[in-house]
Structure 1
Amino acid sequence: MKELKTSYIAKEINGTLIGYDKVIGGIFNFLNAARKGDAVIRHWIDEKGVEIAARKGISCVITQNPKGNAIKTAEKLELPIIITEKIELANAFAINWAINKFANDSIRVVITGTNGKSTTAHMIYHILKEAGYCTYTNTDSKSEFNTLIDPMVAKQIAEFGEKIDAMVIEVSEVQGWLDNIMKDHAYLMTSAIDPDVVVITNVALDHIGLVNSIEETFDETSGAVKAINKENSHLILNNDDPLVKKMENLTPAKNIIFFGNNAQISNNENGIVYNGNIIIKKNDLPFKGNHFIQNIMAAIGAVISLNIDHKTIEHAVKTYKPLKRRFTIINNNPYIIDDFAHNPDGIRATIENAALMSNGNFFVVSAIRGSRGEIINQVNAEAIADGLQNIHYKLIVTSSNDVVDNLNIVTEDEKKVFVDTLENRGIKYIFYKRLYDALEEVLNLADNKDTILLIGAQGMDPANELLEKILKSKKKLITN
């Protein structure tokens, strides 16, 4: 691979180079982690950041927003700086460069959609590892590395440390910075990866404020399909989602596998089948909920397209352990289920599946989404009301004020629209500002035979640790 120069980067990302042309001697990186020779990508940088970069001996800074005296300071310190109108172009370039340099002959799978991306990606990763592939994935329990806001994926690939045989990359279907959508996010990232397989889980309304209609969500999500440029690529589509089905007409890919009802990969009373042949028996499935079975079918479609043998798939699915906060069982007496459900479709499906598993009383503790706006909290509350219809329940709502950072604080307007929506739907609830208090209350109310469902995004993330503290203190009281 030829030398990478600042002038070439600037040209490729529609940027302007200020300073002299210089060879990049390292990798694409964050400022705080950068080493000598690295290229730093930051959405914004000021003169202090430029001074830190110069002291570290980095090759150049790439930014969308130079603040204060950043440019003058860079010129004074003879540090090349590239200014681009869209930082996502820089991060897409970095991903593509890292793949070509460190994993050029790897198999590449992209997963996107509104719900189920992380579980599907993680299961594909598990199956490929079971098949003997040295596999990279950007999927983690908090879905923090599926964006083009920063160079994390490029950094992880460059620092992987082993020869990468396969890559399973989760792509956010919609992404933005503050209230500004990063238009064509899925298209840009998928194009940079140049995948052999693309999986679309579903299309549903989320990220309200960045997109405001299901049509906009479709346009953004379908970018991953439009980015396929090889006829021999495989496309795995959800047959049960009409919008996803439409995507088969947006690609040159000839190899399309559908999963869902009346599809090549489907679920029946015997288990999951592919073209009539059982891949895994019903009793061997790690999850029984409908939305998890959809994720399993999507993952099976991806690995079948890569010619992984059925016995390997069966064993890998049987032994699969879920990501943290993906319908995770964190306690047995009472039965406590923790799930990241944070948008309407995910909330409805999670409540439905958890209620089916309940043999005693059914409790739901829901964290309001902080600093995400009134609309998403209104539709999330509507989804909770939908899920609780015809169910005997007790609902506890929390703002999680004691555990969230300043990026996830629930505003008074967000709380008001959430609880007003519940009240308008006739849903009874108890409200606590603090997550600790909400969890303590539900443990006081629940018996060992009952089921407790914890749902919500960042506001519910610390619940497991808090529950451990509460349970330990309860045991001490009983002992004393």
Structure 2
Amino acid sequence: MHRLVILGGGESGVGAALLGRQKGYDVFVSDGGAIKDKYKQELIENNIAFEEGQHTVEQVLNASEVMKSPGIPEKNDLVKQIRVKGIPVISEIELAYRFKGDSKIIAITGSNGKSTTTALTYHICKTAGLDCAMVGNIGYSFAKQVAEDPKQWYVAEISSFQLDDIKDFRPDVSVLLNITEDHLDRYEYQFENYIRSKFRIIQNQTMNDYFIYCEDDEVIMNHLALLTIHTNPLPFSMKHEVKKGGYIKGDQMMLRIQDERVSMSIYDFALKGKHNHYNTMAAGIAATTIGIRKEKIREAVKDFHSLEHRMEFVAMVRGVEFINDSKATNVNSTWYALESMNKPTVLILGGTDKGNDYALLNDLVKDHVKAIVCMGVDNKKIIAAFKDIVPVIIETDSAKKAVNASFKLAAKGDVVLLSPACASFDLFKNYEDRGKQFKDAVKEL
């Protein structure tokens, strides 16, 4: 009997366990930490063996195959032992792909904007009446969806960690938005390793598939020049016209795929800011490749609501606007957020640093930021980076204190922007917890 051992009892691990069990595998879930009650309940109800707070090495190393959750790095001792023994390691998206039947996949990756683009693409598909689900890194297990409620189309947000352990996974439409330095701690601090990881999204594609990518991204274009690709390229650009794909000229977005031509004004986009114009183009092209009519694309792009924790408007308090961009866990995300600011900004920064280079923000901080409020355990690096640029920098150690300090510093007509550029694990459970505590504190003002 095929013995599937799953490392990690979170959303993707438990989803994979449910699918493996349904397909007749002998499944064992092992989590070095505590498994959340809701996930434990699902495992118990489905008679799936599990352990928490430890890894029993013998139980793990007798696997036919191991599925490891994306959060577990290669340098983990147990993973090293699995590799030495030659046990195949797969990711959850590989398992889901194995059992998806004749369903089709739009897979979206990139360092920034992938959650927004995934949600918008899904919204277009729903608006067009497709039988579809939004899955993957956005917080819904792809494997669980395949097991419990299979759909004809899956719109999947895919991280580089999920791509690292694919074998046959092949999306019908792949989207690569951008590549900036992120998660380098997981890639031996070699940017090249991270770039190769992102490009794995097209490694199994054929000439029946599409590859949508940003032609204005230098890193993508440099790497693409080294590859022979076996898929249909559809670039998008805001700098020049493309023969096939998408571009923005003046205030018009133009999409050209086969005979289909779509044009619409960028002023009609629900998502504002230059970075979101890229996201909207990518989603529009993806929708066009699968035959969604232009009227439906226009309708969906106009009435889309942005995601929670991603440039989310929270409230206007005595003329001060509060924006929650807690999902900005790297410098580039914060760069995009600042780029779309058109009012004086009090910026809340800080958290667990992932090897950040804050110098990338200097010009935008000079132009837009009147004060910085640090929200982290260790803020030395942020203070050193901006002390000569920003007249006021304050340290706080909770969302409530950060919000109160920011409100005092802001004047009517200003924006308070939470866009931390860091992971959240020093003070919060995750970026959602950070965003929620920020919003709760704003509501108390």
TM category (shorter chain) comes to 0.7 to 0.9
Query: Which residue matches 1:221?
Result: 198
- Is the 8 Å Cα contact of residues 61 and 82 (structure 1) preserved in structure 2? no
Matched, 1:269 2:250: yes
Instruction: Report the residue type matching 1:236 in the other structure.
Output: I
Query: Which residue matches 2:346?
Result: 363
Query: Which residue matches 1:242?
Result: 218
Matched, 1:344 2:331: yes
Alpha-carbon deviations, 1:344-383, whole Å to 9, x = none?
Answer: 22211211212x2x1xx421112x232x55x23xx1x334
User: 1:259 Cα deviation (Å)?
Assistant: 0.4
Counterpart of 1:154 (choices 131, 136, 143) is 143
Query: Which residue matches 1:22?
Result: none
Query: Which residue matches 1:294?
Result: 278
State the distance in 2 between where 1:227 and 1:96 align.
12
- Is the 8 Å Cα contact of residues 309 and 435 (structure 2) preserved in structure 1? no
Q: CA 1:318 to 1:39, structure 2 compared with 1: closer, same or farther past 3 Å? A: farther
State the distance in 2 between where 1:294 and 1:307 align.
20
State the distance in 1 between where 2:279 and 2:32 align.
40
Instruction: Report the residue type matching 2:290 in the other structure.
Output: L
Instruction: Report the residue type matching 2:105 in the other structure.
Output: R
User: 1:41 Cα deviation (Å)?
Assistant: 5.1
TM-score scaled by length of structure 2: 0.76
- Is the 8 Å Cα contact of residues 372 and 392 (structure 2) preserved in structure 1? yes
State the distance in 1 between where 2:393 and 2:265 align.
40
Counterpart of 1:134 (choices 119, 131, 135) is 131
Q: CA RMSD in A?
A: 3.9
Query: Which residue matches 1:279?
Result: 263
Unaligned runs of 5+ in 2: 7-13, 36-40, 70-86
Stretch deviating more after TM superposition (217-226 or 37-46): 37-46
State the distance in 2 between where 1:186 and 1:95 align.
8
Matched, 1:303 2:287: yes
Matched, 1:112 2:109: yes
Instruction: Report the residue type matching 1:215 in the other structure.
Output: E
Query: Which residue matches 1:390?
Result: 367
User: 1:97 Cα deviation (Å)?
Assistant: 4.8
Q: CA 1:325 to 1:84, structure 2 compared with 1: closer, same or farther past 3 Å? A: same
Query: Which residue matches 2:183?
Result: 207
Instruction: Report the residue type matching 2:345 in the other structure.
Output: F
Of the two, which has the highest radius of gyration?
Answer: 1
- Is the 8 Å Cα contact of residues 266 and 277 (structure 2) preserved in structure 1? no
State the distance in 1 between where 2:92 and 2:289 align.
28
Q: How many residues align?
A: 396
State the distance in 1 between where 2:218 and 2:254 align.
21
- Is the 8 Å Cα contact of residues 200 and 238 (structure 1) preserved in structure 2? yes
User: 1:156 Cα deviation (Å)?
Assistant: 3.0
Query: Which residue matches 2:383?
Result: 419
State the distance in 1 between where 2:275 and 2:90 align.
31
Instruction: Report the residue type matching 1:271 in the other structure.
Output: Q
- Is the 8 Å Cα contact of residues 163 and 198 (structure 2) preserved in structure 1? yes
Query: Which residue matches 1:165?
Result: 152
- Is the 8 Å Cα contact of residues 60 and 82 (structure 1) preserved in structure 2? no
State the distance in 1 between where 2:44 and 2:280 align.
49
Alpha-carbon deviations, 1:173-213, whole Å to 9, x = none?
Answer: 2x3xxxxxxxxx42534x54421111001111011311223
Q: CA 1:207 to 1:38, structure 2 compared with 1: closer, same or farther past 3 Å? A: same
- Is the 8 Å Cα contact of residues 365 and 452 (structure 1) preserved in structure 2? yes
Instruction: Report the residue type matching 1:364 in the other structure.
Output: L
State the distance in 2 between where 1:218 and 1:53 align.
36
SS of equivalent residue, structure 1 residue 236: strand
SS of equivalent residue, structure 1 residue 347: helix
Q: CA 1:219 to 1:466, structure 2 compared with 1: closer, same or farther past 3 Å? A: closer
Q: CA 1:231 to 1:440, structure 2 compared with 1: closer, same or farther past 3 Å? A: same
- Is the 8 Å Cα contact of residues 28 and 38 (structure 1) preserved in structure 2? no
User: 1:119 Cα deviation (Å)?
Assistant: 0.9
- Is the 8 Å Cα contact of residues 114 and 157 (structure 2) preserved in structure 1? yes
Instruction: Report the residue type matching 2:368 in the other structure.
Output: I
TM-score scaled by length of structure 1: 0.71
Instruction: Report the residue type matching 1:6 in the other structure.
Output: H
Unaligned runs of 5+ in 1: 14-25, 75-79, 146-151, 176-184, 400-409, 475-480
SS of equivalent residue, structure 2 residue 183: coil
Instruction: Report the residue type matching 1:363 in the other structure.
Output: V
Superposed counterparts of 1:23-172, under 5 Å: 28-29=16-17, 39-40=26-27, 42=29, 44=31, 58=47, 66-67=55-56, 71=59, 82=63, 87=68, 92=90, 95-101=93-99, 103-138=100-135, 143-144=138-139, 152-160=141-149, 163-172=150-159
User: 1:250 Cα deviation (Å)?
Assistant: 3.4
State the distance in 2 between where 1:167 and 1:234 align.
15
SS of equivalent residue, structure 2 residue 186: coil
Q: CA 1:158 to 1:287, structure 2 compared with 1: closer, same or farther past 3 Å? A: same
State the distance in 1 between where 2:291 and 2:94 align.
25
Matched, 1:315 2:299: yes
- Is the 8 Å Cα contact of residues 174 and 211 (structure 2) preserved in structure 1? yes
State the distance in 2 between where 1:54 and 1:444 align.
48
Alpha-carbon deviations, 1:286-325, whole Å to 9, x = none?
Answer: 1231111111111112111112111111111111111111
User: 1:445 Cα deviation (Å)?
Assistant: 3.0
- Is the 8 Å Cα contact of residues 371 and 409 (structure 2) preserved in structure 1? no
State the distance in 2 between where 1:242 and 1:27 align.
36
SS of equivalent residue, structure 1 residue 288: coil
User: 1:453 Cα deviation (Å)?
Assistant: 1.1
Stretch deviating more after TM superposition (191-200 or 245-254): 245-254
Alpha-carbon deviations, 1:410-461, whole Å to 9, x = none?
Answer: 4x4xx32232233366664111112211101212333442211111253564
Query: Which residue matches 1:403?
Result: none
Q: Indicate the percent of aligned positions where both proteins have the same amino acid.
A: 21
Alpha-carbon deviations, 1:238-269, whole Å to 9, x = none?
Answer: 11012223437635434211001223311122
Q: CA 1:167 to 1:56, structure 2 compared with 1: closer, same or farther past 3 Å? A: closer
SS of equivalent residue, structure 1 residue 326: coil
Query: Which residue matches 1:6?
Result: 2
SS of equivalent residue, structure 2 residue 219: helix
